[in-house]
Each structure stands twice: as C-alpha cells, then as structure tokens.
Amino acid sequence: MARMTTAARRTGIVRAALALGAVAALAGCSLLPGLGGAREAAAPALPEAPSGSAASFSEQDPEWQSCGDGMQCADVFAPLDWAEPAGETITVRLVKHPATGTERLGTLFINPGGPGASGAGYVMDSIDRVVQPELQAAYDVIGWDPRGVGDSTPVHCLDAAEMDRFLYGDDSATAGLERGSDAWIAAALAEREGFEAACAEENGALLAHVATSDTVQDLEMLRGIVGDPKLSYLGFSYGTYIGARYADAYPDRVGRLVLDGAMDPTATMSDVVREQTIGFEQALRAYTADCLERRGCPLSGSVDAGMAQISALLDRVDAQPLRASDGRTVTSGVAVTAIVLPLYSQDMWGYLDRLFSSLAVDDPDVALALADAYNDRVDGVYQSNSFEAFSAINCLDYPNESDPERMRADAAELAEIAPTIGRFQGYGDLACATWPVPSVAERTPVSAPGAAPILVVGTTGDPATPYRWAESLAEQLESGHLITYVGEGHTAATTSSCVADIVSEYLLTGAVPASDPRCTE
C-alpha cells in the first residue's frame, strides 16, 4: 500500500505493495464499517533449536498447534545473519491452512505485500477471499510474517503515543518554511531524528538484517522445512518483489509462482514515487469522473473542475491543519493518506464522497478514520508494526539518495505530472537519508535463468503498482508470462474472475496461456 505523507514523516508513496485484500483486513472503526481488524494468533511453541549450520534451519520440525477456524500456527528459528548461521537467531511466525482434499500437491506460500504486512494474519483472515476452494483442497496454504514484521521478531521503534505524535503531528517544525528550502529540509530531517534514534536503540543488530534479500533466504528455508522440492508461491504487490528475487536467486527451485501487482526490481525510490504519484492521480480522476455522474457527489462541474476542488481542499488543510478532539491533526499528508486508501478499489470510492464532504466543513473525523485504517490503528492502539517495518525494510532495499538539488528537481516534476497530489509527494528520499543502517541493495534486473514458467499479473488501472512494472518484470524474467487485467484497482487475482481462473489452473497444473488473454472481467 502507498505511503503518501509529508517528508517530515512518512515520505513519498513508496509503501506500494499491499494487496487489496490486505487493505480490507486493516484496522477499522465505527466511522468506516467494513474495514475490520485482523485476529491475533496465539504464540506457539518453538521447535528444537537448529545446530547452527545453514542447512539445519531447513530441517526444523515446526510445533504446529491449532489457532482457530481450522488454522494451525507455528514459530520457527532463522539466523539473524545468514552469513553467520551459528550466531544469534530470530523467530518467524507461520499460519497454515491445511489442504482440505486428499490429493495434496504441496504447500502454497502467500505474501500480501507491504513491506510490513502480515502474511500470517492475511491467511488467517482472508483465506477464502484469496485462495479458491480447489486450491485449498490441493495445497497447504501458508502465510508468514517476514522478519521484522508482526509476530516474527519485529522491528519496534515507538509506543502508541509517540507514533501518534510522529504520524499525526501538526507540522509545526516546518511551518512557515518554503517547502524544499535548505531550512525546510533541515527541519524535516530533524523531525525524523527521534524516530530513527528510537529504531536504532530498540532494535540493535536486527535493523541491519530485514532486507528483502534476507527474507528471500528465509523463504528458501521455509520451502525446505515443508519438504517441497520446488516453491509454489502467490505474491501480491511488494510480495512480487520477494518472489522475483527468490526466482533469480534459486531458479532451479521455482515451481509455480504467481506475481500479482508486479513491482519492477530495477525501480529506484524516485521511480516508485513518480510512477505511483501518476497512478494515484489518474485513479483520483477516474473517481472524480464517476462521482460527477452520481447524485450526492460532493464535487461539481467538469472533471477538471472537480479535481481543482479537491486540490483546493488540500491547500486549505495544508495551510491550516484540522485539529481533532483527541489532539491529533489532519495535515495535508494525513489528508492525502486518507485519499489514497479508497483508491485501491472502485468498491471503496464511496468513502471519498464522505471524506471530501467532511473536509469541506473542516471536519477531521473521516480523514482520521481513513488514515487510521491505513495505519492499522484502532482506538488509539496500533495493531501492528507495519509502518516501522516498512521504514526499516525500504531503507535497506533502496539506495539512500539525498542530494537536495536532485530532490528539488524530482519534486518539481511531481507537481507538474500530478497537479492535485504531486506537490505533496516530493522529498521522499529524506525518509532514509539519515537512516541508522546504510542501504545494501542494488536495483538490478532479474532473469531467473532456466526457471519454470512464472505468471506475472498486471492491472492497467493499478494506481499502486503501475501496469508498466508488470510488463517490465515479465520481460526481465526468462520464463515470465504476462497476464493483463484491463480494469481499475490494485492487483487482480482476487477481483477478476478471468485472472482467478487462470491463476487457479496454473497452480493446479502448471499450464500457462499461449498468449496474454487481456482479461476484462
């Protein structure tokens, strides 16, 4: 899912990769019925500790225990540092839905994206929405919390009150300063210092070992633990990046991989912010066109006029943030976050009607409710560490770039290509500019030479992972097969019956379409 807030806090739109089903499973509140919170899994017992060799971690025998509704939960060990498997260990949480049929094909691993989203919670809460009955019959379905996330050994930085101040503060540090000026950049960086210092103090060595490259090695370990000779995998959004990097690292162990809502492994943070800014601007225009055809639409006139009205609301909130009764504020960053959440699916566009109506009368409640759902916050309590994990993983996965002149040029481009929201999306690189651990990643292409066929799914109107990324990933992979859904929304396997049928047939038989079917329903 996209993170769209001010540079002083959650900078840029880089939190692209959360599948639509995971959006629906985020924390809800009374203002927004239908956005229900996830259930918690009990903490299971650990297996016998591995001997310390890398191979011994794949030989663990998980202590599976019931955790309700036919699900089983387990924790397993992983090395903190795969380069030193005899050193410190962490734990990884698994949730399994055992195969319901008698002719079992193996295990299907699922990741909903993020980075920072719980795969364990996703399977526990969304199995019937994500995995068709015939696949549930054929596969044990396992979701896991990647290292640093959720009920695996987590990254933790701030308590709830501190997080509220960080995410919902009043932007006083940068108030009165020209956006992008040296003084504004310095103030934005200073505002992040407390968050980064807390992350460094609370997490120690873990902070250097939560990159996607570490998670790929964990996934290979999990394949070994379940005893499958090849990996079967369904990854959404950021989960496609995990899957693509796995395929490139272990092409001979690729079984049946579906990468839906694909990310481009070569994209830099600037690329991601630019493409997502364009995507969400276009989705907002599509919403506006639809709204203007409906009775009760809070906008009026042409599509351009409606977009201008939204822009004016954002300008007003930017100039004078709205203060709620609990002391939190709706800044332009919070307002943009509230706009982004419903743009993940046309089914959620009705929330934007309520949002724009409330902002027009300076009511902060709907904006806070949507931002809370996005931030997994319920009644003042953060239900997960998704933001902290997102920050820690992304700052390792993307090269840290902090040249002020380049950031100013990028910000000017964003304002030009996305006039409504783009001016609030610049300076995303500040989020990792002074991160305690330097990036270790290179944004190199993948090829997975010799791998079995891999399905890459892209949606033409996807605002969070633009369609061109799916085209790029399918082209990079030697065995990539592009499946196009011509429609709106983020990811397709859970919304398009055509895509769902293709995915199901592929996971059951390995068959891929002879050509891109370009699904429309």
pLDDT tens profile 110-149: 999 999 999 999 999 999 999 999 999 999 999 999 999 9
Q: What's the pLDDT at 40?
A: 52
The answer to whether residues 469 and 443 touch, using CB atoms and an 8 Å cutoff, is: no
| CA of residue 281 relative to chain centroid, distance | 19
Question: If pLDDT is split at 50, 70 and 90, which confidence band does 92 have?
Answer: very high
| Residues classed as catalytic | 237, 462, 490
In this structure, the chain runs to a length of 521
Question: If pLDDT is split at 50, 70 and 90, which confidence band does 1 have?
Answer: very low
Let me know if 402 is exposed, middle or buried by CB neighbors in 10 A (0-12, 13-18, 19+): middle
Give the Cα separation of 486 and 458 in Å (integer). Answer: 9
The answer to whether residues 219 and 242 touch, using CB atoms and an 8 Å cutoff, is: yes
Q: What's the pLDDT at 8?
A: 38
Give the position of tokens 């250097």: 208
Give the position of tokens 């931030």: 375
Average pLDDT, the chain: 91
Indicate whether 167 pLDDT > 60. yes
The residue-averaged pLDDT of 227-251 equals: 98
Tens-place pLDDT, residues 257-287: 999 999 999 999 999 999 999 999 999 999 9
What is the end-to-end Cα distance of the chain in Å, rounded?
23
Omega into 98 within 30° of 0, i.e. cis?
Answer: no
Q: Which two tokens stand for residue 483?
A: 């499946």
- CA dist 484 to 202, 376, 499, 505, Å? 43, 31, 8, 16
Q: What's the pLDDT at 25?
A: 43
Q: What's the pLDDT at 401?
A: 78
Indicate whether 17 pLDDT > 50. no
Omega into 33 within 30° of 0, i.e. cis?
Answer: no
Tens-place pLDDT, residues 21-50: 444 443 333 344 444 344 454 578 899 999
The residue-averaged pLDDT of 173-182 equals: 87
Which of 335, 298, 300, 338 is closest to 320 using CA atoms? 335
Interstrand relation of 454-461 and 480-488 (parallel, antiparallel or unpaired): parallel
Question: If pLDDT is split at 50, 70 and 90, which confidence band does 4 have?
Answer: very low
